[in-house]
């Protein structure tokens, strides 16, 4: 099994995560090889063809279900969806996503997205692995900065303020 990656977006935590995947894969009997690719080649698509990898560190995250359109849109008219590195081509899933996008009823839209998500989880075409580093340089007097649990864990400064008390 090959894992293609580039140091352009792989932080130390991500490298450590890859090594854990490699160790666990080897313990299960797989020959797991890490396949580094320089940033220019990686973003030009080298080592990202249909037979070039089994695992790739490209996984889209977003706070809303609309990300499904990017991640799961099937190839069309011979053009591959370059944002779907799993190459999962399920037209039934795509139909559910399109119905959800076109539905103006919030409850029905949510139910359709949940149906799509359940299909993805049940069939497990991919396992998402995302290492998101958040580094903040602050002073001890900065208060009420927190990481958003509803999105991708980005810092939220809505209530941030400086307090002279330590």
pLDDT in tens, 122-133: 887 766 666 666
Min mean pLDDT across 61-65, 73-77, 91-95, 127-131 is at 127-131
How would you label 33-68 residue by residue, b for 16+ Cβ within 10 Å and e otherwise? eeeebeeeebeeeebbeeeebebbbbeeeeeebeeb
What's the gap between Cα 55 and its chain centre?
A: 13
Mean pLDDT value of segment 146-162:
80
At 150, the pLDDT band (50, 70, 90 cuts) reads low
Please name the residues in contact with 33: beta carbons below 8 A apart, sequence gap of 6 or more: 1, 2, 3
pLDDT at 70: 85
Its pTM stands at 0.61
What's the gap between Cα 80 and its chain centre?
A: 18
At 64, the pLDDT band (50, 70, 90 cuts) reads confident
At 56, the pLDDT band (50, 70, 90 cuts) reads low
Mean pLDDT value of segment 51-60:
64
39 pLDDT more than 90: no
Nearest to 90 by CA among 65, 112, 71: 71
pLDDT at 22: 92
What's the gap between Cα 13 and its chain centre?
A: 15
């Amino acid at each position: 099994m090959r894992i293609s990656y580039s140091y352009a977006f792989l932080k130390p935590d991500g490298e450590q995560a890859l090594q854990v995947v490699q160790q666990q894969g080897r313990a299960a009997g797989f020959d797991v090889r890490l396949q580094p690719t320089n940033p220019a080649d990686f973003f030009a698509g080298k080592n990202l063809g249909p037979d070039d990898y089994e695992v790739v560190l490209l996984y889209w995250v977003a706070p809303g279900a609309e990300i499904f359109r990017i991640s799961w849109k099937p190839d069309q008219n011979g053009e591959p969806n370059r944002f779907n590195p799993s190459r999962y081509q399920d037209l039934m899933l795509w139909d559910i996503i399109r119905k959800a996008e076109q539905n103006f009823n919030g409850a029905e839209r949510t139910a359709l997205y949940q149906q799509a998500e359940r299909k993805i989880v049940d069939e497990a075409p991919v396992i998402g692995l995302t290492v998101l580093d958040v580094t903040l340089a602050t002073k001890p007097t900065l208060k009420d900065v927190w990481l958003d649990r509803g999105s991708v864990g980005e810092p939220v400064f809505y209530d941030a303020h400086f307090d002279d008390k330590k």
